[in-house]
Structure formats: structure tokens, C-alpha cells
A = this chain, B = another copy of it.
Amino acid sequence: MTTTTTAPPPHKLTSKGQATRARILEQAAELIYTKGVHATNNEQLRRAAGVSGSQLNHYFPTKESLVLAVIGWQAERVLTLHRSERFTRFDSFDAFRAWADFYVSYERAYQEGCTLGSLASEIIKTDLDVHDELASSFDQWRSVFRDGIERMQRLGRLSAEADPTQLANLLLAAFQGGMLLSQVARDITPLKDALQTAIDHVQTFATSPDTDGRGA
């Protein structure tokens, strides 16, 4: 029954097929990030990716299959960045500050928001069956922060009193909410304030007084 609406799994494609699929996906992600899911149509996507209608239909037979793939693609990018050496797996306050600085200086933050959060917000009330994919992506993202905070506790940098899951939820919520407020205000200040104070709060659990300076 579902064969007519199911795209071929990427691993079954030839390398040329994989390249075409990747090109469509990258263009779809960019269009959706800039214009939103609803304003992105097949015609624009075909033109941007330089593929025919039948090619597009071959790789992504339905809008749902395309949106699912874009969620996976954006989540992969967000998670790869967060797990990169750049942020040393969030094992120090410096790493959290570097993370905030990175996004505060990201000029598209207050134009188009979070690549994954803004997509989630836009589609969460639609009939698209993408809920599990979204929930799993955000779970993994939260885990990056929670694992970092647990590591800081093991390293003796953070008090055992800190609740890693609670603080991870604060960091992720401050990020998502800050992104939305900055988009609405067309000003980076709300994101900057939210991230700085959320990290300040994590830092109130610091074991060493040297690192417990607010807004240090």
C-alpha cells in the first residue's frame, strides 16, 4: 500500500543517485529554512536543485518524505556541530560560552531562527507524520548538554547538586526561545541575554569560586 509514497532508501541508491538525492535535500533544506515549509513548492525546488519533476518524485514522492529527510539532515548538522571538538563536548564553562558566542554571532539567527526549531514550530500542528523524527532529534540534542554537565560533575567542576537534565532543558529552551524572540524583535539581544543568563545559572553550581563569576 505504501510503496507508491515511499522513497528509495538512500543506501540502495547508486553513487550518482545518492549525489542527486543529496543535492535535492540540501536545496530543500535551504529553501525551507529561508521561506518556510508552506511556501516551498516543487517548482522552486526543481529549479534550485536542477532536477526534473520525475527525478524529484523518484527521490521524494511526497512532501512528508521530503520534510522527514530535511529534519534528519538539519538534525545531523546541528548534532555534528554540537559534538565537534570546537565545544570539547561541553566539559567546561568556556565551552558553553563559546557555544553561545557562536550562535550570537551567527547572522541568520535573528533572520531565520534555529534551523531545526523553526522547522519544528512551523509543522508541529500540521498533519505531516514527522513527530517521532522531531522528538528523537531534540532528545539527542538535549543529551549533548546533559552529558556535558554530567562530565563536568565527574571532573569536579560542577556540584553534584546540579540536576543535569533540568539544566539541559534550560539551555535548550533558552536557545529555542531566544531564537524566536530574536527573530520577532529582529535583534540579537533576546538570544544573547537568554543564553548568557542560562549559562550564568549553570555556573552558580561551579565548585571553584574562580569560575563562579556572573557573566565572566
Chain A positions within 8 Å of B, measured between CB atoms, are: 34-36, 38-39, 112-113, 117-118, 120-122, 124-127, 131, 134-135, 138-139, 142, 161, 163, 165-167, 169-170, 172-181, 183-186, 189-191, 193-194, 196-198, 200-201, 204, 214
With A36-B126, A135-B185, A201-B200 known as contacts, the answer to whether A193 contacts B165 (CB < 8 A) is: yes
Inter-chain contact A185/B138, CB cutoff 8 Å? yes
| Chain B residue at minimal CB-CB distance from A34 | B125
CA A122 – CA B113 in complex, angstroms? 12
**Max chain B CB contacts within 10 Å: which of A118, A134, A184, A201?**
A184
Residues on the B chain within 8 Å of A177, using CB: 117, 172-180, 194
6 closest Cβ pairs, A-B complex: A177-B177, A121-B121, A173-B177, A176-B177, A173-B194, A169-B193
A193 to B162, CA, bound (A): 12
**From A139, which residue of chain B is reached at the shortest CB distance?**
B185
Cβ distance A110 to chain B, nearest Cβ, rounded Å = 11
Is A125 a contact of B201 with CB atoms below 8 Å? no
Interface SS of chain A: helix, strand, loop or mixed?
helix
Q: Within the assembled complex, what's the spacing in Å between the Cα atoms of A39 and B126?
A: 7
A170:B181 contact, CB within 8 angstroms? no
Given A176-B177, A176-B181, A181-B138, verify A197-B167 contact (CB < 8 Å).
Answer: yes
In whole angstroms, how far apart are the Cα atoms of A179 and B120 in the complex?
Answer: 12
Nearest residue, chain B, Cβ from A137: B184
Chain B residue with Cβ nearest A121: B121
Bound CA span A121–B144, Å: 25
Contact (Cβ within 8 A) B125 A118: yes
Q: B113 to A124, Cβ gap below 8 A?
A: yes
CB neighbours (8 Å) of A163 from chain B are 193
B184 touches A169 (CB 8 A): no
Write out the residue numbers on chain B whose beta carbons fall within 8 Å of the beta carbon of A35: 125
Name the one of B39, B169, B180 contacting A194, with C-beta atoms under 8 angstroms: B169
Q: Are A170 and B184 in contact (CB under 8 A)?
A: no
Distance of A214 Cα from B120 Cα, bound (Å): 32
